[in-house]
Amino acid sequence: MTRLIWSVGPAALGCLVASAAPGQATRGAAPATQPSAAQYGTFAMSHLGDVSRGKALFFNEARLACSRCHSVEQRPQDAKVGPPLFAVGDRFGRRDLIESILTPSSNIAVGYSTTKVRTRSGGVIQGILRESTNSAISLMQSDGTLARVPIADIERQHTTDVSLMPEGLQGGLTTQEFADIVEYLASLKLPETAAAIGHGMPATIPELEKPVALTVFTPERFEHPVWFGPVPGLADTYGVEEHESGKIWFLKHGSGTDEKSLFVDTGHFHTGTRGLVGLVFHPRSLPVTGGITS
């Protein structure tokens, strides 16, 4: 038995306000059976999205139109009805970005609770409270317009625990498109963070006082290897795990000529800090025709 260890992220977003056009899809026809919220989440956690496609969806007025309610710049003048998403990929993990879209009312960002007002004439206005004075309150509505309501016209005012962002917005997307929008949100990072993650290492590595001498172990080449160790039951055989490609290789070493053979191909390619990060062989693994049971 072999256990693979994957790395994914943690935390929570707030209210991602958008409007979807159900049934539309840019990549093929909509599935005959609508995926559940859990299936959207599972797909986005196990599949890499495309940042450029996700960005296009974010700014597409005919699809999600997220940019109507959220800014991605660090400028006060860009404030909108939803929380700013500047560097949101630094503050929140992938799983929490997903949950904040699928269940927007489960974790509303501070300062973005919905205020509901019933006027004396019977009208109902709801939005994010932007200003409150002795004479009036101002509510930023989901369409981005500011509604000013005189205090004298208010019959009842209360704060709700329901986000302005409606649930079910993913219903207008394919599972791949959902993964694309999550990938775009996760990519919104500070420049220095994005550079470090893109290379899988800190931006600056201090120099050791005493240099470490390195000796070539094998001339065989591997793509971003992160784990290396002996394979139980196979003499002079080592496992090598590639972080991004999701591949595990066996390296036969010690007989004069090294030989490299593919043991596992997970089929998942993850860049940066996600992907395979460890490998554990069961201590009772047995050799089977040149390999081991997995």
Question: What are the sequence ranges of the domains in the chain?
Answer: 10-108+165-198, 114-160, 225-292
C-alpha closest to that of 51 among 184, 197, 190: 184
User: Which pLDDT band, with edges at 50, 70 and 90, does 29 fall under?
Assistant: very low
Residues 6+ apart with CB under 8 A from 280: 2, 3, 5
Percent of the chain scored above 70 by pLDDT? 72
Give pLDDT tens digits for 134-177: 999 988 877 777 889 999 999 999 888 777 676 777 888 899 99
Just give the CATH number of 10-108+165-198: 1.10.760
In this structure, the chain runs to a length of 294
* 156 sits in which H/E element: strand 154-160
Query: Within 19-123, where are the H helices?
Result: 37-46, 51-59, 88-91, 94-102
Q: What's the whole-number average pLDDT of the chain?
A: 76
Predicted pLDDT at 154? 92
pLDDT in tens, 207-264: 888 888 888 888 888 988 888 988 888 888 999 998 888 899 999 997 778 899 999 8
Q: What is the fold of 114-160? A: SH3 type barrels. (2.30.30)
- Non-local (6+) Cβ contacts of 16 within 8 A are 66, 69, 70, 82, 85, 100, 101, 104, 165, 185
* Confidence band, pLDDT 50/70/90 cuts, at residue 182: very high
- The total of other beta-carbon atoms located within 10 Å of residue 12's CB is 16
Rounded average pLDDT over 192-205 = 58
Confidence of residue 273 (pLDDT cuts 50, 70, 90): low
